[in-house]
Amino acid sequence: MDIQPLHTKIEKTIQTSYGVVVMEHYSGFPRGESNIYCVAPGGKILWFAEKPDPYTLFSRLRFNEDGWTLSTYTVHGHACDLDLETGKILSKTSIQ
């Protein structure tokens, strides 16, 4: 599937059973939005990742071995696990 970025450039994609999880580069991305989102096979955005702070953006993304969660890091020092089905935060910690 050819995915076009919403605002910046695509940094990483992960193919999952729900669709393709996309992380766009945080530099220049609007702070009020989430730069991680999931795109369904038909091209519709299923969810935007919940952010631990409204003004931070994600800098790293990893698909966990359990097959159901994503690990993320933000530019403001948060580490979060996200639910793959919904993009909601399951756990978070500050690593500053």
Half-sphere exposure of 61 (CA within 13 A, CB side): 26
62 in any annotated domain: yes
- Give me the domain span that covers residue 66: 10-94
- Condensed to tens digits (0 to 9), the pLDDT of residues 45-85 reads 999 999 999 999 999 999 999 999 999 999 999 999 999 99
> Tell me, what CATH number does 56's domain have?
2.40.10.480
The answer, as to whether pTM is greater than 0.85, is yes
1 in any annotated domain: no
Measured on CA atoms in the order 2, 36, 25, 59, is the torsion positive or negative?
Answer: negative
- Condensed to tens digits (0 to 9), the pLDDT of residues 18-39 reads 999 999 999 999 999 999 999 9
**φ, ψ dihedrals at 90, nearest 5°:** -95, -35
Domain count along the chain? 1
